[in-house]
């Protein structure tokens, strides 16, 4: 945003003030932290481009991309000091948010499987914390959802960050800087948005760069 200070009250000063007011109004529509839509993402940030998701490079965070033998990306998992954050991004309608509905379905599914589930207030609004039974004992999970323009990001924290949000540290920083490129194509609501390996990574792995989620 450019601030200008005019000396007079003539036509040029009024035009400058109008431009300033417009810039301030546009800035007010932009989120203070991400996930960002690609149209309002801050420039000058180094990111790993996976297509629909662009992941900021944060020191200490390992990005693990899991794909099937055909090169279809199935999971994106970030790891840092014993905690992990699994990311998913989905199509949403233009006129409504979907995290409330998705969150209720996740809670119901977990309870059917015998998990203990609680809804709590988090940084982005309502979250779910759950304790699920596994062959190795109980595991803590924390589900976070962020509604954007025609998309929704779902994050699943595991490890210490699942029960202590302040321990998320660099993982939360990744979520704050995440960028979503929804594209303009019509997609069914909740369909995973397509992900692809960066070309150089795909070539090294012998996979096609256009591989995406189903």
Q: Is the pTM of this model over 0.85?
A: no
- Pick the range with the lowest mean pLDDT from 4-8, 61-65, 131-135, 187-191: 4-8
Residue 67 pLDDT: 77
pLDDT in tens, 143-165: 999 999 999 999 999 999 999 99
Residue 197 pLDDT: 82
For residue 13, the surrounding DSSP H or E stretch is: helix 11-29
Q: Where residue 30 falls among pLDDT bands split at 50, 70, 90?
A: low
The answer, yes or no, to whether residue 13 has pLDDT greater than 50, is no
Residue 78: φ, ψ to 5°: -105, 140
Distance of CA 133 to the CA centre of its chain: 27
Token pair recorded at residue 147: 């509604």
pLDDT in tens, 106-126: 999 999 999 999 999 999 999
- 3-state helix vs strand vs coil in the chain, percent to 5: 25, 35, 40
């Amino acid at each position: 945003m450019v601030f200008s200070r005019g000396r007079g009250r003539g036509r040029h000063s009024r035009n400058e003030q109008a431009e300033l007011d417009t810039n301030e109004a546009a800035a007010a529509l932009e989120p203070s932290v991400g996930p960002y839509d690609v149209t309002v993402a801050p420039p000058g940030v180094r990111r790993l481009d996976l297509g629909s998701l662009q992941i900021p490079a944060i020191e200490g965070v390992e990005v693990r991309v899991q794909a099937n033998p055909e090169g279809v990306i199935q999971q994106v998992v970030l790891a840092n000091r014993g905690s992990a954050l699994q990311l998913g991004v989905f199509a949403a309608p233009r006129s409504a948010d979907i995290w409330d509905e998705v969150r209720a379905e996740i809670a119901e599914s977990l309870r059917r499987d015998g998990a203990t589930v609680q809804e709590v207030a988090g940084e982005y609004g309502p979250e779910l914390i759950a304790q699920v039974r596994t062959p190795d004992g109980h595991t803590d999970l924390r589900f976070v959802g962020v509604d954007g323009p025609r998309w929704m990001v779902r994050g699943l924290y595991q490890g210490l960050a699942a029960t202590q949000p302040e321990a998320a540290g660099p993982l939360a920083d990744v979520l704050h800087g995440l960028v979503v490129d929804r594209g303009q194509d019509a997609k069914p609501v909740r369909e995973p948005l397509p992900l692809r390996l960066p070309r150089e990574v795909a070539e090294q792995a012998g996979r096609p760069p256009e591989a995406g989620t189903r």
